[in-house]
Chain A
Amino acid sequence: MPEKTPLYECHVAAGARIVDFGGWDMPLHYGSQIEEHHAVRTAAGIFDVSHMTVVDVAGTDAKAYLRRLLANDVGKLGVPGKGLYSCMLDASGGVVDDLIVYRRDAGEFRVVVNAATRAADLAWMNDVAADFDVTVAERAELMMLAIQGPQATERAAPLLPAAIRGRALDLDAFASVADGDWFVARTGYTGEDGWEIIVAAESGCALWAAASAAGIRPCGLGARDTLRLEAGLALYGQDMDRDVSPLVSALGWTVAWEPADRAFIGRDALERERARGPEEKLVGLVLEDRGIMRHGQRVTTESGDGQVTSGGFSPTMQRSIALARVPADATGTCRVQIRNDKRSAKIVRPPFVRNGDVLVEI
């Protein structure tokens, strides 16, 4: 039986089509995935992302542990509340998962990892923790909501507890603030402004209901996927996994090479790959012909073949866009094998859309 979030009954009552996602019964859409997508680009939407796994790391060695575990460096988190995006690598530089880690008060950290990788991640984090004085504690009792869109914070602010409201509105990107049960971060997976909120189930259900009543549109995982694709944000398991490194996944910028003596897991393998020069890269594609690009389709470039890692229809651009892994020196146009035809696509640098604006030429 798939797991259910505390909002499951609310989703069903709101007319959601429920699908199994990573072992969870989640809303795919509430009637129109495309309208939900546009709501987030033009106004505000709310997503139940309680399937995501929240892990708190505490103990004397918490910082040292995360500097070993993660390819990005939590040493950059100068003040409590700050967060950063990172990959967690294996020894060969393959991506175990991608995540966001926040520094909290008193030397503690909060890590948010993917749902589908929960068991593997917890096993990996616990294995690495054996060499450190840390506790790694999953917070399965908490739920998580994302409120996203140009009007998200303005519309949702009145729904937050007064004690946290002002500080939440003042947050910079990737910063967070906590108060009691509430944890609010200026992060998201849509390419729009907004918050991700981690909170106890009772408060979270009340917030979801209040947000819906305030005209913040409930959005399902379908819209979440097209929004993140337009924003050029990689999806674990599709755009990268343990078979590839961050360097061929457009995530080289998340690897903290300095200080050079920080021995994070996977560093040696990445150093060798960097010295050789990565053979591939992750790029954006905009289909010039008609049709829809999909995960797994073959891409032909003048420099050799590649593959679509994420593809679909962009509601904002009204055409098909994709992320694809291609030879490192591929540029210009390419051909995508869509069923029996080869269709022309332009190689671009993601993101396709940010803050409501199309950023690539079409």
Chain B
Amino acid sequence: MSEVPAALKYSQEHEWVRLEDDGSVVVGITDHAQEALGELVYVEQPENGILLARGDACVVIESVKAASDVYAPISGELTEANGALADAPELVNQSPYEDGWLVRIYPSSPAELDELMDADAYVQFVAESAA
């Protein structure tokens, strides 16, 4: 089983969300997602300042196999993208929950956070998807 940190929230699109002290959230893809995608070779960096509705495609990640959209798990303003991924997309594979984070979003509807899954629910969601 892949790693699923207890402190994070999860979307059905296999993104994780971490609430920061300043009210922003950091978003990445889960260990399960990176393993399914295969080795990443390119991350299309989004522009800072764009406004996202929940479900909008906000990052394109390209693996050795294919291109995939990452969808905003929460509405808000994209305030930062992980610049390290421009030259080292493999960080997403090596460290999906730390160095391989994708974007920071300042939520416009913080209540949406409550609609995401906790770690236990996500583990169950992955297990049911595989069945």
Q: Which of B62-70, B96-104, B114-122 contacts A (4 or more CB under 8 A)?
A: B62-70
Q: Which residue of A lies closest to B89 (CB)?
A: A313
> Helix, strand, loop or mixed for chain A's interface?
mixed
Q: Which residue of B lies closest to A339 (CB)?
A: B60
Cα of A292 to Cα of B40 in the assembled complex, Å: 11
Q: Which residue of B lies closest to A37 (CB)?
A: B64
Q: Which residue of A lies closest to B38 (CB)?
A: A33
Q: Which residues of B contact A33 (CB under 8 A)?
A: 38-39, 64
Selected contact of A313 from candidates B44, B60, B62, B86, CB within 8 Å:
B62
A290 interface contact, C-beta 8 A: yes
A6 interface contact, C-beta 8 A: no
Nearest CB of chain A from residue B32's CB, rounded to whole Å: 14
Cα of A29 to Cα of B66 in the assembled complex, Å: 15
Selected contact of B62 from candidates A28, A29, A34, A292, CB within 8 Å:
A292
Q: Which residue of A lies closest to B35 (CB)?
A: A17
Selected contact of A34 from candidates B44, B64, B67, CB within 8 Å:
B64
Selected contact of B67 from candidates A28, A29, A290, A339, CB within 8 Å:
A339
Q: Which residues of A contact B67 (CB under 8 A)?
A: 292, 294, 339
Residue of B38, B41, B60, B62 ringed by the most chain A CB atoms within 10 A: B41
B42 interface contact, C-beta 8 A: yes
Cβ contact within 8 Å between B42 and A290: yes
Q: Which residues of A contact B66 (CB under 8 A)?
A: 294
Q: Which residues of B contact A294 (CB under 8 A)?
A: 66-67
A60 interface contact, C-beta 8 A: no
Q: A222-B64, A312-B64, A313-B62 are in contact. Are A292 and B38 (CB under 8 A)?
A: no
Cα of A291 to Cα of B67 in the assembled complex, Å: 10
Cα of A333 to Cα of B103 in the assembled complex, Å: 33
A148 interface contact, C-beta 8 A: no
A sample of 11 more A-B contacts (CB under 8 A), given A33-B38, A291-B62, A313-B64, is: A33-B64, A34-B39, A34-B41, A222-B65, A290-B42, A291-B44, A292-B41, A313-B41, A320-B42, A339-B60, A339-B67
Query: 15 A-B contacts, Cβ less than 8 Å apart?
Result: A29-B38, A34-B64, A222-B38, A222-B65, A226-B64, A290-B44, A291-B42, A292-B41, A292-B42, A292-B62, A294-B67, A313-B42, A313-B62, A313-B64, A339-B60
